[in-house]
Structures are given as structure tokens and as C-alpha cells.
Amino acid sequence: MSTSQVLQVGPLMPAVAQGLRDDYDAYVLPDEPAEFLATHGGDITVVVTSGSAVVDAALIDALPNLGAIVNFGVGYDTVDVDAAFARGIGVSNTPEVLNDAVADTAVGLLLDTLRGFSAADRFVRAGRWPVDKMFPLTREVSGSRVGILGLGRIGRAIALRLSAFGCTISYHNRHRVDVPYEYASSPEELARNADVLVVAAAGGDSSRGLVDRAVLDALGPDGYLINIARGSVVDEAELVAALTERRLAGAGLDVYADEPNVPEALFALDNVVLLPHVGSATTQTRAAMAELTLRNVASFLSSGALVTPVR
């Protein structure tokens, strides 16, 4: 019978799950966890999870000797960090290693959404080119005004890439940062002065619904929304309404409020590009995330310190 100190909560990348099994004989939390927690809850000192599972206060309370929650991914909004920190439990994530992949995704989504490349591909595949003769004109990316909501590591990587397109960059954060971009005092002000609003803010309760109807209306019928952050940052019902009512020119989305469920109203819209949360899904990035996740586990179990604590 395993007496592991490590508990996997929710699905993980196979390399991570295999590493946890091989090195620590890790448990996997069952779908019906009550009996397992009653028997093994006191053994667990490290939980390893990802954004596809919830580590809430109830689970944390059921693990009296828990010392660390290691998250595979940069976002940790599915972890109740307040409950963890109240117990002195450390929380880690995988920052830096996925900045480039997610920033590349944001720029790719922006290009596809404004230029309509996916829609043009469908136009050709459907045999419409010989019949309709010309695909509708689209919006140029170069020289656009781009507002970035959340100028952290990923936001800055996006800004750097779009600067090469001659885009005018502005941003909104909780606080100004030392960058050569114009600061907007609110998301609404940012949207009002942008052709494209790129959402790169961290998820969680503090940013839930930050992009609401007022922000979408400020972006307006000629504006575009790109979201590579978390679905919760955008009021999805208001976004769907704005797109279907043509109060917004288009959107490129990699994240959604209730993944993997995507509002069906968006499926028929050629001005919307829909990706299945693949922002960091490259071989190189996922390998680096896996290595950092396992390094956090090893470090905590050997020294009590996490390599990349969130605070």
C-alpha cells in the first residue's frame, strides 16, 4: 500500500503524472474522494494540480499536513490561495517558461481575427472562391492601436511582438509600470482608445468580469477582442451578445468561462476565431512546464522551499 506524500488532483500532462508515479508513488484523488481522504488525507504534504481541477478550501481542510500546492501552469485561479495562505501552505506555478508560446498565440489570434485567415480557409475549402470570386476585405493589423489589459510577463511579450508591426501600444494594470507605453486608468478607457483589446490579465476573483458591457461598448463596433488569459476575465454572455448584435467587429478566443464548453452562438460567426485553450501547447513549452513542476515538488520535499512560489 502506497504511503506517498504526493497527491495528484485532476488530470496532468502524461510526463508529469508519470514522473510523480515513478519518483513518489503518488496518489491520484478519486472522483469520490471521501473515503480516500479519510484514510490518506493525513499523509499528504504536496498537492500537484493544474487549471483543469479545483483545489478548494474543503480539500485543503481535508489535508491537515499539506505544505505546498504545486500548479502546472501559470494561472492558479482554481486554487483557493486565501485558504492555503491562511494555513501557511505555499503555492507555486510555472511562470516565464510559457511567455513566448502564449504571446505567439495572442499575436496569431490577432492576425487571424483581423485578417480573417481561418474564414478565408473555409471559403476556399467550401468551393466558394470560383463562385463568389472575391473574399471580403478585412482589417490591417500593422499600425493598429492595441490596448493590453494586464501588462505582466506575457503582456509585455505581446507588446514587444506587436511593436514590430508598428502598432501603438497602451495598457491598463492595477499600477503603472516602467514601460514606454501609454497607461490607461481603467479597462474602459483602454478599450475606448484601442482598435484591438488584448486580454492578458491574471484570472481569479479580482479580475472576474473585468471586461463587461461597458468595456465592450467602449471598444465599439469597429473594435476587436483577443483573449488568451482566462475566460472568467470577460463577461461571456455580454461578449456573445456584442458579437451577435454586431456591436463588436470580432473576437479571437483561446479561453472560455466554462471550458471545454463554448457558446454555440459563436460557431456560425465568421468574425470569431475559436481555439481550444492551446496558448502554451507547444512541445518545448510543455516540456519546460513539466520540468519546472517536478522541480517544485522535489525542492519542497527536500528543503521545504518552492522554486517558483506565487508570492
Structure confidence at residue 181 (pLDDT): 98
Same domain? For 144 and 228 the reply is yes
CATH label of the domain that carries residue 57: 3.40.50.720
Using alpha carbons, select from 76, 59, 42, 4 the residue that is nearest to residue 301. Answer: 4
Based on the structure, what is the number of domains in the chain? 2
* pLDDT tens string 262-276: 999 999 999 999 999
Which burial class, exposed, middle or buried, applies to 185 when counting CB atoms under 10 A from its CB (0-12, 13-18, 19+)?
Answer: exposed
Same domain? For 229 and 120 the reply is yes
Its pTM stands at 0.92
Same domain? For 126 and 246 the reply is yes
The pLDDT of residue 1 is above 70: no
Same domain? For 10 and 159 the reply is no
Same domain? For 80 and 216 the reply is no
1 part of a folded domain: no
Take residue 300 and report the three cell numbers written for it.
519542497
Residue among 40, 192, 277, 286 flagged as catalytic: 277
Residue among 172, 230, 236, 286 flagged as catalytic: 230
Q: Say if residues 71 and 89 touch (Cβ distance below 8 Å).
A: no
Beta-bridged to residue 93, according to DSSP, are none
310 part of a folded domain: no
Same domain? For 67 and 213 the reply is no
Print the domain residue range for 292. 6-97+284-303
Q: Is 189 a catalytic residue?
A: no
Provide the 10 A C-beta neighbour count for residue 39. 10
* pLDDT tens string 82-139: 999 999 999 999 999 999 999 999 999 999 999 999 999 999 999 999 999 999 999 9
Q: Is 277 a catalytic residue?
A: yes
